[in-house]
Chain A
Amino acid sequence: MKITFPYWGNYTIAFKALFKKLGLSIVPPEKTNPRAIENGAKISPEMYCLPLKINIGNYLSAIKRGADTIFMVTSLGGSCRLRYYGAIQEKVLSDAGYDVNFIVFDQTPKDIYKKIKEVSGASFWQIIKAAWFFYEKLRLIEKLEKKANYLRPRERIKGETDKILMQAFLNLDKINTKKELAEFKEGISQKISEIKIDKNKDVPKVGLIGEIFTVSDGAVNFGIEEKLGREGVEVHREMDITYHLKKRVFPWKDWWIQKKINHYLGSTVGGHGRDAIYEMLEYVKKDFDGVIQLLPFGCMPETTVRPILQKIHLKSGIPFLSLSLDEQVAEAGINTRIEAFVDVVKNYYQKKYEKLSGH
């Protein structure tokens, strides 16, 4: 059995580590690229959302390289189309003549444990250890990404942060033991501390909100965080796997969010629709200089809340940009929109600054 799974930004490193630790033989997914997206979109239902098409593109290239089994996690509790990813993807591949095995995980620890055990034959402790190793890598990835968002607008040598980060992720991918990981952590924090930055530089801040897959995979969102960072903007993003896991472990977080946004939206609308509103309100409160919403074109939860986000934008004056991504969106178009938006953000920031300093 040769297993493959969807590519998901730098998280792919953590998933690879997890499966390797379980002793599974894997065909790692190729980094998402325009060709993979095109191939995936060609055989996927036209009206389906982009992540499904990207997943299919990932599978196709892995199948070519010998994969015969696909791991896919769906969100059982959610109300959006992600719920049917497993069923639809299986059908799409089988209709296109591919003979592959699908193992679909519900997002419950019990189901994941049961299926992992069945597939890998690993012992309880081995699974726990693998899961812990996975989570440590995942946390580190998220921390590095967050750190980079702080460093980019402040670095003295343009591009230094990304150079170090890229190398770091390549190295992290090769790490297989806890000891190596501990050493790596030390090494990378040393390297990061050596990046020369203007510590006291005050920079405009932008919050990135929206659908979890599109905001957290640079290969899908054309590296929006890097782009904004290079333009001198500090990017903040709440939405990541840890955020999502935390909400599953502590369900009262949703209750809290609902309480905070009740004036705007009286209910969940599936996915992370509520979170987008909550995050935007928080960014307004924290006096940010802009909010960008990223979503797959036609994403049900994110489009439902978009008019509400626009309302918040109009009421508060905070610059707001919503970018819908599909297989036809070209990087050049996105660049133009981001550049124009950065101008608006800088203007907003400048005016605020002038007001503060009494000019």
Chain B
Amino acid sequence: MTIGIPKALFYWKEPFSTGAHIGHFWEIFFESLGVEVILSPETNKEIVERGVKVSDPEFCFATKVFLGHILWLEGKVDYIFVPRLKTNEEKLEYCPKFFGLPDLAKILVKTPILTETFDMREGKIETSLEKLGKKLDKNAIKIEKAINNAFLKEKGSKKKQEQDFLKKIKSDKQRIVLISHPYNLYDDYVNVGIKKKLEKLGAEVIFIDEVPVKRQETRARSQKLDYPEFHWEFGKEIMEKIEEILKYTFSGAIEISSFLCGCDAVLKEFVEKAFKGNKIPFLYLIIDENTADAGLQTRLEAFMDTIQ
């Protein structure tokens, strides 16, 4: 049996995956169960074009890309895996689009969709993973092993990320913080290779999700930054990480949004306020299928000029 996993949206989300270079929670989980996994490739022009073509025009760009990945997997695998992510372990909600992803995939392709709901208001992650394993006719012991395997790897990657962060924040280069959802940060095609572009301009790029925030600290909400109590996991996470990064010195911050991302319409207001309020140069970029390489380059150059 083969399972296809689209390399988009949920693929990059915590706690299931912590970044492009690390993570791989889902692959490890399914492979440990003895299932062959086929990942869709890195986002490319064809995937984006196909996704845009079949998507509702008012979907956010990230969802359009996701549907492109689903189309790529169609016919190549026995099942396409699309979990229904509802709330995380802090009982905070994912973007409401995530609630409907399995259904949106289902009406698009003939390949059956393998799904399971992850709602931690209702039960633990492990319970959902067990149910998922049982759908594949695996026995309880094997499932438990697979869960442990996947989590173990994830823990390891988290540690490495923290060490990397401490190195980067001490770098002599212009330190630039990139703020966005992981599916924008780690997908180089979607973000038009922004990391490489900035590095070429002499910057040390720090992704906001690399900033370590300790769980205990996050419990007590600090009042230094003024923002609403988010019911969105990414809202709380990003704001807390911004609060943390503001303890260090860096040269500027860039926020990237998928065109028509409804959540970012809310979040951006407070992200921008946090940086501008602390007199840190801030650039806001909206990306979609029409974002031109040259246009972005010019804006980044201008931004780097202003902070030097």
Contacts and interface: CB of A to CB of B under 8 A. Distances in A.
B39 interface: no
B103 A270 contact: no
B218 to A, nearest CB: 20
B56 interface: yes
11 contacts: A79-B96, A79-B99, A80-B262, A91-B273, A266-B117, A267-B84, A267-B117, A305-B100, A307-B107, A308-B104, A308-B107
B231 interface: yes
Interface of A: 45, 47-49, 79-81, 83-84, 87-88, 91, 264-270, 273, 297-301, 303-308, 311, 324
Contacts of B108: 307
A273 B93 CA distance: 16
Contacts of B27: none
Contacts of A301: 96
A79 B93 contact: yes
Given A307-B107, A311-B107, A266 B84 contact: yes
Contact of B262 (A266, A268, A298): A298
A324 B103 contact: no
Contact of B265 (A45, A87, A306): A45
B96 A304 contact: yes
A270 B86 CA distance: 11
A270 B98 CA distance: 11
A109 to B, nearest CB: 20
Nearest to A90: B228
| Residue of B58, B227, B261 ringed by the most chain A CB atoms within 10 A | B58
Interface of B: 56, 58-59, 84, 86, 93, 96-97, 99-100, 102-104, 107-108, 115, 117, 227-228, 231, 257, 260-266, 268-269, 273, 286
A304 B59 CA distance: 7
B50 to A, nearest CB: 15
Contacts of A305: 100
Nearest to A77: B231
A266 B107 CA distance: 13
Contacts of B264: 47
A258 to B, nearest CB: 12
B231 A83 contact: yes
A305 B58 CA distance: 11
B204 to A, nearest CB: 29
A49 B100 contact: no
B80 to A, nearest CB: 15
A306 B56 contact: yes
Given A265-B100, A304-B96, A305-B100, A88 B58 contact: no
Contacts of A311: 107
A270 B96 contact: yes
Nearest to B103: A265
Given A81-B262, A304-B96, A266 B102 contact: yes
Q: Which of B108, B231, B262 has the most CB of A within 10 A?
A: B262
Contacts of B102: 266
Contacts of B269: 45, 88, 91
B56 A267 contact: no
B177 to A, nearest CB: 21
Contact of A264 (B59, B103, B228, B261): B103
Contact of B100 (A84, A269, A324): A269
Given A47-B260, A269-B97, A297-B58, 20 more contacts: A47-B265, A79-B96, A80-B262, A81-B266, A87-B227, A91-B269, A91-B273, A266-B100, A266-B102, A266-B103, A266-B115, A267-B117, A268-B99, A298-B262, A300-B96, A300-B262, A303-B59, A304-B96, A304-B104, A307-B108
Contacts of A83: 231
Contacts of A307: 56, 104, 107-108
A261 to B, nearest CB: 10
Contacts of A265: 100, 103
B115 to A, nearest CB: 8
Contacts of A79: 93, 96, 99, 231
A81 B269 CA distance: 13
Contacts of B261: 47
B131 to A, nearest CB: 14
B263 to A, nearest CB: 8
Given A45-B265, A268-B99, A84 B84 contact: no
A324 B58 contact: yes
Contacts of A47: 257, 260-262, 264-265, 268, 286
A210 to B, nearest CB: 13
A298 B260 contact: yes
A47 B286 CA distance: 10
A81 B265 contact: yes
A305 B107 CA distance: 11
A304 B228 contact: no
Contacts of A304: 96-97, 99-100, 104
Contacts of B263: 81, 300
Contacts of A87: 227-228
A99 B115 CA distance: 50
Contacts of A49: 262, 265
Contacts of A264: 103, 107
A80 B227 CA distance: 17
A229 to B, nearest CB: 28
A124 to B, nearest CB: 30
Contacts of B96: 79-80, 268-270, 273, 300-301, 304
B77 to A, nearest CB: 21
A121 to B, nearest CB: 28
Contacts of B56: 303, 306-307
A148 to B, nearest CB: 31
9 closest A-B pairs (Cβ-Cβ)? A47-B265, A270-B96, A87-B228, A300-B262, A79-B96, A303-B58, A269-B100, A48-B265, A267-B99
